[in-house]
Amino acid sequence: MRPTVLISGLWHETNTFSPIPTDLAAFRAYQWAEGADLAARYAGTNTEIGGMLAGAEVAGLAVAPGLFAGAIPSGTVTREAFEALAGRIAGSAARARPDGILLALHGALVADGVVQSDAELVRRVRAAVGADVPLVATYDLHANIGPALVEACDLLIGYDTFPHTDMGARGAEAAARLAAMLATGARPHKVFRKLPIITVPQMQATAELPMDAVMARVAAAERVSGVDVVSVAQGFAYADIDHLGVAVTGYGADPSAVAREVDAVAAMIGDAREAFRPRLVSVPEAVARAAVPGRGPVVLVEPADNVGGGAPGDGTAILAEMARRRVGGTIVLWDPPAVAAARGADRFAGPVGGRTLPDLHGPPVEISGRVIFAEPAVRYVRDGAYMTGQEVPMGDVAVVRTDFGLNVVLTGERVMPFDDTHLRRVGIDPAGEPVLVAKSGSAWKIAFQAIARDAVVVDTGGVCASNVERLPYTSAAARQCWPLAHG
């Protein structure tokens, strides 16, 4: 009889500096598929679950679908939501009585009062099926890996790309390695190294220095005999927790070879740490650089308001300067009340943005213009390289175009600019825009790098600031990490 594997997952990157709590509704609104719906929703997509489904098929494993739930990065996950999600996932494991388990985790989930929350989820799944059932989990390159997660899983496989494009491949790899464990009964040796280093998304792109060299070393490590998987977790800087920071995980049959290779990768990151220091341009200088006619599109990158890192996406620091200088282009803002005011009207005049954290991300800015797009409950399917095939909500949307050619895209849900479909869906051709404001660290490159004439990373305040010295860390472990500890 074919072995049965449970496929399940829980995905959240938690920004503990964000005041927006992440409740069960936030998971239901973004990604939620359970039972038969899991395959219907994710088969054929470039997601971990899509890859796990495909890999299980190739390996001849029968699939017991559990629950996959994910929320857009935001603040701390409520205890109630964590208990409900962990209970459902552990419950489906108990019912399925699987021979093996595949979990798609993010690895940076922080639930209220639950230390090392991803590990606690795995422990509960383990408790439901018994400690002998092999368990393989995937994690995002931005995971904050702690010892409890390494302890709880037989194998961890991290993404090798940022901007992330290899989710399907890592999911398929997880299924193949689980199948091998089921066939042989053997478990790989584990090596885990934690580095007291915080790096920021702006500096983590795996096709650029210093990460391209690190990832080449990782690939070399995985070619060594007796080494199966080596992964780098760059960590997620915006979590005030004890297991914050960079980690390297390694697995294989030869413990000394795995340790040697993992140590070499970890040493390389430690030696390169100064190369992870971000370079930023002030708001006036950035907008002045973007305002030169005929140079577009210029991408103004705002990591501090990175929606994909849990920031609200309603920051106005750049908008205010563009409005003051009458610079055209496109900016996306999360602002449900403004959407409601603009829908059904030909013109809009009023304040936009700045509703969540005006002291950090700027106060509301007055704009006026024609309403050139308005639709309720907009959804689209990602067709770029990030999570290809995944359907995502934008909420109700209105686009206001000012008389100086600035499109302000007002959305009812927070939208991560990891593809250009969210602009094309509302009638904007990004290639034709003089300026694109991207509230993102590096993930914007998937959508816009190919069309950008120039990109300027802008220094604003916010819960995802590239300058981490701006943030009020309290955890002793965080304070001991570079660059906080060393300036």
**What is the closest distance, in whole angstroms, from the C-beta atom of residue 204 to Zn ion in the complex?**
9
105 vs 394, which CB is nearer to Zn ion?
105
Cis peptide before 201 (omega within 30 of 0): no
DSSP state letter for 448:
H
**What is the closest distance, in whole angstroms, from the C-beta atom of residue 198 to Zn ion in the complex?**
15
Site mask for Zn ion (CB under 5 A), range 368-387, x = bound: --------------------
**What is the closest distance, in whole angstroms, from the C-beta atom of residue 140 to Zn ion in the complex?**
4
**What is the closest distance, in whole angstroms, from the C-beta atom of residue 70 to Zn ion in the complex?**
12
330 vs 390, which CB is nearer to Zn ion?
390
227 vs 233, which CB is nearer to Zn ion?
233
**What is the closest distance, in whole angstroms, from the C-beta atom of residue 355 to Zn ion in the complex?**
26
389: left (phi over 0), alpha (psi -120 to 50) or beta: left
142 vs 401, which CB is nearer to Zn ion?
142
318 vs 443, which CB is nearer to Zn ion?
443
Q: For residue 277, give every residue at least 6 positions away whose Cβ sits within 8 Å of its Cβ, in sequence order, or none.
A: 203, 483
- For 235, the enclosing helix (H) or strand (E) is none
Site mask for Zn ion (CB under 5 A), range 403-442, x = bound: ----------------------------------------
d(CA 289, CA 38): 46
- For 190, the enclosing helix (H) or strand (E) is strand 189-194
Strand partners, 88: none
- Map the footprint of Zn ion across residues 97-126, applying CB under 5 A: none
d(CA 432, CA 323): 19
142 vs 414, which CB is nearer to Zn ion?
142
- Map the footprint of Zn ion across residues 243-272, applying CB under 5 A: none
142 vs 189, which CB is nearer to Zn ion?
142
Helices 48-58 and 167-184: crossing angle in degrees, nearest 10, is 40
Token duo for residue 344: 């059904």
**What is the closest distance, in whole angstroms, from the C-beta atom of residue 142 to Zn ion in the complex?**
4
The pairing of strands 247-252 and 189-194 is antiparallel
- For 368, the enclosing helix (H) or strand (E) is strand 365-381
126 vs 142, which CB is nearer to Zn ion?
142
**What is the closest distance, in whole angstroms, from the C-beta atom of residue 411 to Zn ion in the complex?**
21
140 vs 321, which CB is nearer to Zn ion?
140
Token duo for residue 31: 């990604």
Size of the site for Zn ion (CB under 5 A): 2
Rg (CA), the chain: 22
Residue of this chain nearest to Zn ion (CB atom):
142
**What is the closest distance, in whole angstroms, from the C-beta atom of residue 15 to Zn ion in the complex?**
12
Site mask for Zn ion (CB under 5 A), range 133-172, x = bound: -------x-x------------------------------
**What is the closest distance, in whole angstroms, from the C-beta atom of residue 457 to Zn ion in the complex?**
18
Q: For residue 153, give every residue at least 6 positions away whose Cβ sits within 8 Å of its Cβ, in sequence order, or none.
A: 103, 122, 135, 136, 137
22 vs 407, which CB is nearer to Zn ion?
22
**b/e map 222-234, b = 16+ CB within 10 Å:** bebeebbbbbbbb
**What is the closest distance, in whole angstroms, from the C-beta atom of residue 236 to Zn ion in the complex?**
7
Residue 315 near residue 443, CB atoms below 8 Å? no
d(CA 217, CA 236): 22
- Map the footprint of Zn ion across residues 37-96, applying CB under 5 A: none
d(CA 178, CA 55): 10
Residue 66 near residue 104, CB atoms below 8 Å? no
Binding site for Zn ion (CB under 5 A): 140, 142
